[in-house]
Structure 1
Amino acid sequence: MSSQMEVVEETTEVGGGEEFLKNDVYTAAAYGDVEKLKRLVDVEGCSLADPDGIGYYALQWAALNNRTAALQYIIENTHVAAQYGQTAFLYHIVTKWNADPDVPDSDGRSPLHWAAYKGFIDCIRLLLFLDAYSGRQDKEGYTPLHWAAIKGNLEACTMLVQAGKKEDLMVQDNTGLTPAQLASDSNHQQVAIFLGNAIRIFDRLYGGSSQFGKLSKLGHAPLLWCTIIALLATYMYSVIPGFNIWKLSLSGLFAWLGVFLATSGLVMFYRCSRKDPGYVKMNPRNSRNIRDDEPLLKVDLGNPALLAGNWSQLCASCKIIRPLRAKHCSTCDRCVEQFDHHCPWVSNCIGKKNKRDFFMFLLLEVSAMVITGAVTIIRTVRDPAAPKRFVAWLNYSATHHPGALSFLITDFFLFFGVVALTIVQATQISQNITTNEMANGMRYSYLRGPGGRFRNPYDHGIRKNCSDLLINGYNEDVEHPEQPSLSALELGMIQMASDRAL
């Protein structure tokens, strides 16, 4: 082993036997030729993140041969890793060699500046996770968010905003421009609109003790709650009295069944709104509470997610390595297991722990709407004085049954939206996939199979998917083993065996 780790003097005979070192970063690092190393990296763009033919990195060659200057240059060269999106190398030198991921270069730009400028999302995520300072300004007064806005990198802007503070959006460069203004001047209107909206969202979510700020966090849940209660009251006052529960027992019970289903749906609505959707435990050193003088967060080198290069599992906001199917909700400012979506109508995220309650709420309300709508139609049509023609019947109902008609119209318009959402949720439950995964399937590596095609590894069949969620309350994140495809040779052997059997 020791002989393998020694510097291998690769030479070529030129002319009268003159020897030259091989022109690569490994040899330059091994011999401590810092000038050549700088030229290869800074000018020619050679990578420090790739191993050589026998599996050793330039960093290892410098360390093994005690080339202190070369070693120091490579460790400090995190800017190059960020410039070229070399997330794995960045992770390696920060965690194993204790390189500083936040050191500025001669222009005052940190690796985060470069990653934001180039739009390398995984590098940005890792640097923010390592507590890189997102508010640092370079010589031009630009923060990483300024550079992301200049280049129109919407995803980079989104990540920086989620992990940062409102003050980051308000920082002005040396010419007095904010990131949103720079984006607008660069004709990146989508980014400019996003950054402008982000300021309003920060005001709403972190607006201190103002009553408006507190009410805004409730979302649309109070409105939906009041709407359902008002519809129930209208139905019970205007429709049910037309049925004599004692003489028409079946009709009367059918009419009250709608009330029972709607009330049960309200119970599920309350549970879904108040229940923990599956929040992932946050790191006590949340980025919003970190002081600038605190040491860097220690990263678990043995974490399988990082060793496998699953950088999307790093949450720069919560400072955690989250489960594979979890996602950070910008509204709740928390990571949620099996994140489906944030529903403003229930003022909560829909995730692993409350998806069943959400689906039951939809199912019960759809059933209630069908029954109450049918009962209302029967109530108005069975009026002996009601005309047969539709227009005349409509005018008569507006005069003699205004409450029933208003209930029926509202029920009709709400019905289609609720049914569509129920069908979508039922379909996704049967496939054990979330709304977020359906919308962003190609962004997640775990949803890509051979050839880059979409593949859901958590689909265990309709029966098991549905039974797990409806009985247990959630689906386990257990991958379904993919059946290996048979080669042409194996298919031929099977065919030959079949022919012999015949």
Structure 2
Amino acid sequence: MEEWPDRGRQCQVNCPHGYHGTQKHQEEYNNSSQSKSPDKHHGDLTFIDDYSNWDIVRATQYGIIDRCKELIEAGYDVRQPDKENVTLLHWAAINNRTELVKYYISKGAIVDQLGGDLNSTALHWATRQGHLSMVVLLIKYGADPSLVDREGFTCLHLAVQFHQMPIIAYLVAKGQNVDAADMNGQTPLMLAASRIIGPEPTRFLIKLNASINAVDKLHKNTPLHWAVLSGNVAALNVLLAAGANVEVKNAMGETPLGLAQQNRNPWIIHSLIDTNASRSRSSFVLKLFKSFEKYKLLLLFLLSVGVIWITGYIADLESDSWLLKGILFVSTWLIIQLIIRRFLSMQTFGYIPLAFLAASLFWMVVTWFIRFLPDFPDSVFQIPFAVSITGCIYYFYKTWTTDPGYIRASEEDKKKTVISLAEADCLDPRIFCTMCLVRKPLRSKHCPVCDRCVAKFDHHCLWIARCIGAWNQRYFVSFLFFVFTVLLWMSYGTIVYWSSHCVTSYEKDGLWILLIQIISCSPWIVWIFLLVLFHSSWVIFLLFNQLYQILYLGLTTNERLSLIKRAHSGRIVGIQQNPFNHGCFQNLVDFFQCRCFGLLKPSKIDWSQQYTMGFDQPRTNEFQFI
């Protein structure tokens, strides 16, 4: 959830009845407006004639505070409801007239007075309209968000129904029970699953620790039951991903799958059956491999080592039958696919590139010492290769084990953050992470793979299975450099091996005969060289791209992509002109924290705590990364 939706208004004045936005409301609005023409901007109104003869209700609707004060001073009772039982405080709250709310309360208005067709408080209707600043103000003056309206809804239930995520966060942070039941015994999560089509606010409530297996009082349905009944596939998938119990029975003895089969929704039936099957497989696998869970990376590595060896072994068979080799290759591929589908979860699946890279490097080292080393007896070749391999291992370990810069906060800190940002009118997705419920530091971003906010986020690396951020990026760049040197040495060793062990040459027999001879000479070497070429493609790109961004631009990958997107809309002032670019040399010193025995002075910034541009910025402040 990157952004909260902007809840637009159909007309300038909102009403506290159950028919806002309908033709009836529009007709009443048109009649009350008469010949007045409000400007399209809320709060800043211009009219053809003056408002000296307006009644107080209309003046409140449009926020004409001078006219309202004039009528109140003339003796109008601020608590007096109109003919439809709506008070002035209701009208002010509905239309987000904060100054009028303060004034009316100072004149004795009752904060929690009920009114309108739905018998709601002013806080109820401010919540419906999504006026966070008004909600904050009313609660500050003592409004009770736990009061229920005629439909039995508290403010939290209304915020869920009207998709008001900022208000949901604020109400929960102020102490409202996220599992509070309405008069039908439904929790906000049940309402989200049954009435709001889409993943939000279901996902958001789960982030706020809503119970995913609670049951309502009447039907004993869980949120998963309600998602099935409403056909809400997106919410159902969110609940399943959060671990909702698919075997719970309601008061009628029906499971979610049973309800789905009654409703004949193929998408929901498919999702529930797949979840049941995967969890059954997981139970079997856990019984078999539970003690080996912490060794899953090792097991994937050994699997990758075996796959690479089998592929090379089949290619290296002395048989001249390519049909036989093709059958063996296809059989091997099918077995691998079966293992992956049967035993690997989606989370474990993300480690396959890392395991493949590690296995490739393993066989490169083995090939070097067994096949290439006899052709390189001098230490001038052996020592640099050993240094490259040692550097790979060390900097991979540092990249993997170093915290990339995860933003951490306790539940109490999260609540304080929500409250402070809401009261400062800053509860905005550009400042506040709606997934982690924390304030986002400068240059940070929420990683959807790790599901965490990362300080100075660069990217989530597929080959490391780890986020690259403020504290491990320099180790990552060093790792890329040493992998690059290993690949260079392997390329050189391959060329020397072919020159020494293959009897043909390009000048003598041409390209086609040369390729055939090379493959016949040692298919294993060809297979390893193909791995070298494959890994070189992404290593070279990442290494030089990282160096270019770090030294020349002073940007992260995420920031550069953001600026490229903005460039297409014509909102860029120059990709090099940013407050983080201090010149190539200083960028190098800052990134690698080079001190040279005190001769250099790198700037050290804790990006996990940096919320403003309160540091040396010799360039421009026109950049804003979101």
Report if TM-score (shorter chain) is over 0.5. Answer: yes
Are the aligned partners of 1:327 and 1:337 in contact in 2 as well (CA < 8 Å)?
A: no
Decide which of 147, 154, 157 is 1:72's aligned counterpart.
147
Paired position in structure 2 for 1:499: none
CA distance in 1, matches of 2:146, 2:556: 47
CA deviation after TM superposition for structure 1 residue 424, in Å = 5.3
Amino acid at match of 2:592: L
Are the aligned partners of 2:407 and 2:453 in contact in 1 as well (CA < 8 Å)?
A: yes
Identity, % of aligned positions: 21
Paired position in structure 1 for 2:31: none
Deviates more, 1:467-476 or 1:405-414: 467-476
Deviations 1:444-473 (A, max 9, x none): xxx989x99699997623736665333379
Kindly report the root-mean-square deviation, in angstroms, between the aligned alpha carbons of the 2 structures: 5.6
Deviations 1:411-462 (A, max 9, x none): 2233224334445555665563345x788x69xxxx989x996999976237
Amino acid at match of 1:229: F
Bigger relative contact order, structure 1 or 2 (CA pairs below 8 A, ≥6 apart): 1
Q: Does 1:257 align with 2:384?
A: yes
Paired position in structure 2 for 1:60: 138
Paired position in structure 1 for 2:404: 277
CA deviation after TM superposition for structure 1 residue 402, in Å = 5.6
Paired position in structure 2 for 1:483: 622
Paired position in structure 2 for 1:327: 446
Q: 1:305 to 1:179 in 2, by over 3 A?
A: farther
Which aligned pairs between 1:78-97 and structure 2 lie closer than 5 A?
Answer: 78-96=156-174
CA deviation after TM superposition for structure 1 residue 47, in Å = 5.2
Are the aligned partners of 2:477 and 2:546 in contact in 1 as well (CA < 8 Å)?
A: yes
CA distance in 1, matches of 2:181, 2:221: 13
Paired position in structure 1 for 2:41: none
CA distance in 1, matches of 2:129, 2:135: 7
Q: 1:395 to 1:63 in 2, by over 3 A?
A: closer
CA distance in 1, matches of 2:72, 2:376: 96
Partner of 1:414, secondary structure, is helix
Paired position in structure 2 for 1:356: 474
CA deviation after TM superposition for structure 1 residue 228, in Å = 0.8
Partner of 1:327, secondary structure, is strand
Paired position in structure 2 for 1:290: none
Q: 1:109 to 1:82 in 2, by over 3 A?
A: same
CA deviation after TM superposition for structure 1 residue 348, in Å = 3.8
Q: Does 1:210 align with 2:290?
A: yes
CA deviation after TM superposition for structure 1 residue 180, in Å = 12
Deviations 1:157-208 (A, max 9, x none): 676566x4x34455456632259968x954557993998499669959x958
Decide which of 86, 106, 109 is 2:183's aligned counterpart.
106
CA distance in 1, matches of 2:434, 2:126: 30
CA deviation after TM superposition for structure 1 residue 281, in Å = 3.6
CA distance in 1, matches of 2:118, 2:537: 65
Paired position in structure 2 for 1:229: 362
Q: 1:6 to 1:105 in 2, by over 3 A?
A: farther
Are the aligned partners of 2:392 and 2:483 in contact in 1 as well (CA < 8 Å)?
A: yes
Are the aligned partners of 1:285 and 1:319 in contact in 2 as well (CA < 8 Å)?
A: no
Are the aligned partners of 1:41 and 1:47 in contact in 2 as well (CA < 8 Å)?
A: no
Partner of 1:364, secondary structure, is helix
Q: 1:229 to 1:177 in 2, by over 3 A?
A: same
CA deviation after TM superposition for structure 1 residue 309, in Å = 0.8
Amino acid at match of 1:235: W
CA deviation after TM superposition for structure 1 residue 231, in Å = 0.6
Paired position in structure 1 for 2:332: none
CA deviation after TM superposition for structure 1 residue 356, in Å = 2.2
Amino acid at match of 1:231: M
Amino acid at match of 1:483: E
For structure 1, list consecutive stretches of 5 or more residues without a partner in the other structure: 13-17, 246-251, 287-296, 485-502
Q: 1:339 to 1:153 in 2, by over 3 A?
A: farther
Paired position in structure 2 for 1:432: 555
Deviations 1:96-154 (A, max 9, x none): 5x443422223332223334442687755664454332322334555445556755564
Amino acid at match of 2:157: H
CA distance in 1, matches of 2:223, 2:560: 31
Are the aligned partners of 1:180 and 1:196 in contact in 2 as well (CA < 8 Å)?
A: no
CA distance in 2, matches of 1:123, 1:197: 25
Are the aligned partners of 1:82 and 1:114 in contact in 2 as well (CA < 8 Å)?
A: yes
Q: 1:61 to 1:419 in 2, by over 3 A?
A: closer
Deviates more, 1:356-365 or 1:121-130: 121-130
CA distance in 1, matches of 2:557, 2:212: 32
Are the aligned partners of 2:246 and 2:255 in contact in 1 as well (CA < 8 Å)?
A: no
Q: Does 1:36 align with 2:158?
A: no
Decide which of 392, 399, 412 is 2:513's aligned counterpart.
392
Q: 1:94 to 1:199 in 2, by over 3 A?
A: same
Amino acid at match of 2:138: Q
CA deviation after TM superposition for structure 1 residue 375, in Å = 3.9
Are the aligned partners of 1:261 and 1:368 in contact in 2 as well (CA < 8 Å)?
A: yes
Paired position in structure 2 for 1:418: 539
CA deviation after TM superposition for structure 1 residue 210, in Å = 0.8
CA distance in 1, matches of 2:438, 2:258: 28
Q: 1:141 to 1:458 in 2, by over 3 A?
A: farther
For structure 2, list consecutive stretches of 5 or more residues without a partner in the other structure: 1-67, 94-108, 299-350, 594-601
Decide which of 387, 398, 409 is 2:530's aligned counterpart.
409
Are the aligned partners of 2:189 and 2:202 in contact in 1 as well (CA < 8 Å)?
A: yes
Which aligned pairs between 1:2-401 and structure 2 lie closer than 5 A?
Answer: 20=83, 23=86, 26-27=89-90, 30=109, 34-36=114-116, 38=118, 48-49=128-129, 60=138, 72-73=147-148, 76-96=154-174, 98-116=175-193, 117-118=195-196, 123-124=201-202, 127-138=205-216, 139-145=218-224, 152=232, 154=234, 164=242, 166-168=243-245, 171=248, 175-178=254-257, 186=265, 188=267, 192=271, 196=275, 203=282, 207=286, 210-216=290-296, 219-220=351-352, 221-243=354-376, 245=378, 253=380, 257-281=384-408, 283=410, 299-300=416-417, 303-304=420-421, 307=424, 308-310=426-428, 313=432, 323=441, 325-327=444-446, 336-340=454-458, 342-343=460-461, 345-381=463-499, 385-388=503-506, 389=509, 390-398=511-519, 400=521
CA distance in 2, matches of 1:202, 1:339: 36
CA deviation after TM superposition for structure 1 residue 267, in Å = 1.9
Number of residue-to-residue matches in the alignment: 442
CA deviation after TM superposition for structure 1 residue 72, in Å = 2.8
Partner of 1:460, secondary structure, is coil
Are the aligned partners of 1:280 and 1:334 in contact in 2 as well (CA < 8 Å)?
A: yes
Are the aligned partners of 1:26 and 1:61 in contact in 2 as well (CA < 8 Å)?
A: no
Partner of 2:492, secondary structure, is helix
CA deviation after TM superposition for structure 1 residue 232, in Å = 1.6
